[in-house]
Chain A
């Protein structure tokens, strides 16, 4: 009222009153802006700290990052590794018909002044059979022997503790093998040679092989800006941890330069077994020598190794000579091992109208899916529904500890229904327990009979966090009927065991989606399969020969362009009889016969059979109650065939030829005598660029020295062999979850908002009060 009285007292101050009014409004706006700015800054700061993903130091790697064979040393940063300088790599790939044998020899160096334990990581094509490991550390030769996993580890640990040179090759996952090498002395050179067996990949008349050759970005010239997973809460940030990066970063990894310091030689001896047409290597320049119509020798042109592409070789037969079937055999220990492949006639297989599909989607929205998992599941499912064709039918089931079937029965995939279903899926939140069985029953049993000519597919999206696996497997195998069950694993640590097995029993496939940016690509692969089944119900039998083991068992469905590939073990060295393969292409039965006696000789088939047998045994784990007995079975097969598997490892045994007593122990210049049958020549000796001008050679030498110094700098070298064993870990480290709630932040922001509202309300009432004064003043005047 004070203002008011003043106003009435001095009429000209009406202007002042209005000015005050404006002032108050301006202040309000200013305070609002200031608050918004502070909050914006706040959330920006959060985005920055939250968003800075593994901004790794240049040069530090982790085993999972490796795209090619590499020797890793533990670094000073816990959990990170540094790559040993790779001095030379030689690869020889022998292709004989459908079988590939690869031998990789690599030379590394320990650039540090201490004793270390290194981990040699080598990614391999899925289902490769590793059977040979040879190493040279300093002046010791070591050859791997196959042993049961635990026994092998014991031998290794003992040798390591005694300070002996030793190595252990273990299977981490079916396509990742690690080889631990203990007690590498200062400055010592390590040569690793591994051999593995694989089979030629066939698709649509094209034959191909692939060799991993991607070099991890070792010395990043610039900080990498990594866009992080598209979490709505995070952004991205550049946060350079090495302020003087330009001083320590040598400008390498230009392909040509890399080839000079890290020479790679690669030779493929291709013996296709049929008249060759085109032989191409899409990513690398090669020299091809023609041996005869069926054989070529392909080698890399020197100095042309792009560091970012795997080596790939594709070949095909001359027109009209593409083999659509083949049978090979190998006799070992009085038993015959067969490898057969058949490509079903594609003309009959591709039906004019695409098959009608009936798809039941099952999505898990239990509490364990909370966070990014449910987002990925929702996206994947929405994508899947949007890809349905109008002639298809579908339904959606969601479950936690309750369950809900969205449509009463299968519905036509009209745009309306699809949109309705997508909206339903988008609205799902993750909460509650995981009761999978009722949902599975609903998907398998209550969707009515399958229409003639239609394909029933059940697509299951879950993280598989369940305890009643056996019950679920039983449900699938009993009530599957003609349906195929496809599982999609969601999240960072899904129960892959459950989902792989469920898909196998359901005769479908398992797709793993680990992060948001994999959704489109992985689901795309799955759709291609869902939409193009070519042949189903494939069965293999032998007529007249005693076949004990045919793998894979059961035979999977075929998708476009794929051949049936089978291996079998037969009694006797000269079996006779016929191999019969039957199947169904749509409604049309298909059958083919091959004469076993006419099979041609092939090498390494026994190993391929063993590897597949092990896969089958692993796959049958759900049905076997006695896990120990199963492990024993796998062990028997693996040991008999000298294969690395989940339960067997190669452990190195020192086989150094004894040194004559009169030779001085320290004579390192003495040429080493390689044990018989060893071939390390290619990675020693002259550098493959003898024509390099002096200046360049000097430069490249300097570069490699610089590299070695950098690596030595970063290594956590142990002064003794004993300490080396303390430092070394397998590199299996645990990722920690997010352990901060937003509760405090919510409360803080909430309180700020309340304070602001209070302030604004006060200002507002003051303003109103002021106005009222003006109004009453006006009234007074009128009176």
Chain B
């Protein structure tokens, strides 16, 4: 028994030498079809896997470029674009202190911006302004860590003018995308982070996970960046 596989291999090799060129010819039509089908399925599988990983790689790699252009922006280069044909600009950097994650936030969550980074919704105020600023990102890339944000966690936002703002995470909840209950003009300086829910689902669904956060004024003072001009103009109504 034990030497049989070896035997077999030997035999096969011999046969292959005989008719390598005729490998396909030796298949009957049914077999050819089956083989082609299998190959096609394998190819489709490979392409899908490749596409999936490409999307993830794009999300990771673009953050590197975005970080670079955001650094340039902090240095005062207002026209810095992450790459020449980008259809958005960088706007802020968000850091979850306890978790140790950072991402560059883009302006305008329309079209393809979300594929490259978290984006602030264009119809909400900038973080730190009066009202509720909403930043959304994909649950499977940039906001994978959002589920780990706990009540009381500090979130630091660095705006492109260099201001550092600290927000404290509050409650989190789950809502439909069109019934978010977020009012962009709500009193106070708030931040809402949104991503898709459930976190481990593989299909796109209508539910969103929202983390509310509130600006912590003291923390800013403690950091000593108050002088950089946190807009605390009183009672500017909309």
Contacts and interface: CB of A to CB of B under 8 A. Distances in A.
A750 B179 contact: no
B38 A764 contact: yes
A735 B109 contact: no
Contacts of A432: 85, 87
B204 A50 contact: yes
B194 A739 contact: yes
A123 B154 CA distance: 43
A723 to B, nearest CB: 14
Interface stretch (B65-73, B117-125, B156-164): B117-125
Interface residues of A, number: 71
A493 B87 contact: no
Interface in A349-370: 366-370
A366 B181 CA distance: 31
A742 interface: yes
A750 B48 contact: yes
Contacts of B4: 1-2
Interface stretch (A74-82, A96-104, A310-318, A545-553): A74-82
Interface in A763-781: 764, 768, 772
Interface in A495-516: none
Interface string A745-774: 111111111111110110010001000100
A33 interface: no
B137 interface: yes
B51 interface: yes
B87 A434 contact: yes
A736 B140 contact: no
Interface stretch (A187-195, A415-423, A726-734): A726-734
Interface in A319-368: 366-368
A431 B134 contact: no
Given A233-B204, A736-B121, 6 more contacts: A79-B180, A367-B86, A465-B87, A730-B183, A737-B136, A751-B45
The 10 nearest A-B residue pairs measured at CB: A78-B181, A753-B45, A750-B48, A750-B49, A747-B52, A367-B87, A746-B52, A757-B42, A370-B111, A46-B203
B47 interface: yes
Nearest to A374: B111
Contact of B48 (A28, A741, A749): A749
12 contacts: A79-B180, A400-B85, A734-B124, A737-B136, A740-B204, A741-B115, A741-B138, A745-B202, A750-B45, A750-B50, A753-B41, A764-B35
Contact of A733 (B15, B37, B140, B183): B183
A751 B109 CA distance: 31
B183 A732 contact: yes
Given A736-B134, A747-B52, A49 B205 contact: yes
A729 B44 CA distance: 50
Given A368-B87, A734-B121, A745-B202, A739 B114 contact: yes
A433 B87 CA distance: 4
A204 interface: no
A52 interface: yes
Interface in B141-155: 141, 143
Given A746-B51, A746-B55, A757-B45, A730 B205 contact: no
Nearest to A152: B237
Contacts of B108: 368, 465
Contacts of B175: 78-79
A746 B53 CA distance: 9
Contacts of B189: none
Among A742, A752, A764, max chain B CB count under 10 A is at: A742
B38 A743 contact: no
Contact of B177 (A2, A736, A742, A752): A736
Contact of B204 (A46, A735, A752, A757): A46
Contacts of A63: none
A49 B237 contact: no
Interface in B1-26: 1, 4-5, 7-8, 15
B47 A737 contact: no
Nearest to B200: A744
Contact of B55 (A401, A743, A749, A768): A743
Contacts of A740: 138-140, 196, 201, 203-205
B143 A739 contact: yes
A685 interface: no
B103 to A, nearest CB: 13
B122 A493 contact: yes
Interface of B: 1, 4-5, 7-8, 15, 31, 34-35, 37-39, 41-42, 44-53, 55-56, 59, 84-88, 108-115, 121-124, 132, 134, 136-141, 143, 175-186, 194-196, 201-206, 208, 210, 235, 237
Given A79-B180, A750-B48, A764-B35, A465 B206 contact: no
Contacts of B5: 1
A764 B37 CA distance: 11
A737 B120 CA distance: 11
B85 A153 contact: no
A755 B39 CA distance: 12
Interface in A364-391: 366-371, 373
Contact of A736 (B110, B141, B194, B204): B194
A745 B53 CA distance: 11
A691 interface: no
Nearest to B55: A743
B110 A732 contact: no
A387 B32 CA distance: 49
B170 to A, nearest CB: 15
A491 interface: yes
Given A743-B56, A749-B48, A750-B49, A736 B208 contact: yes
B206 A52 contact: yes
A62 B201 CA distance: 30
A54 interface: yes
Contacts of A735: 177-178, 180
Contacts of B112: 367-368, 370, 430-431
Among B52, B84, B138, max chain A CB count under 10 A is at: B52
Contacts of B115: 741
Contact of B110 (A45, A233, A465): A465
Contact of B203 (A50, A369, A491, A733): A50
Contacts of A45: 203
Given A154-B237, A370-B111, A740-B205, A493 B123 contact: yes
Nearest to A751: B49
Given A367-B111, A368-B108, A739 B87 contact: no
Interface in A58-87: 77-80
B31 A768 contact: yes
Contact of B140 (A371, A734, A743): A743
Contact of A744 (B7, B113, B202): B202
Nearest to A151: B237
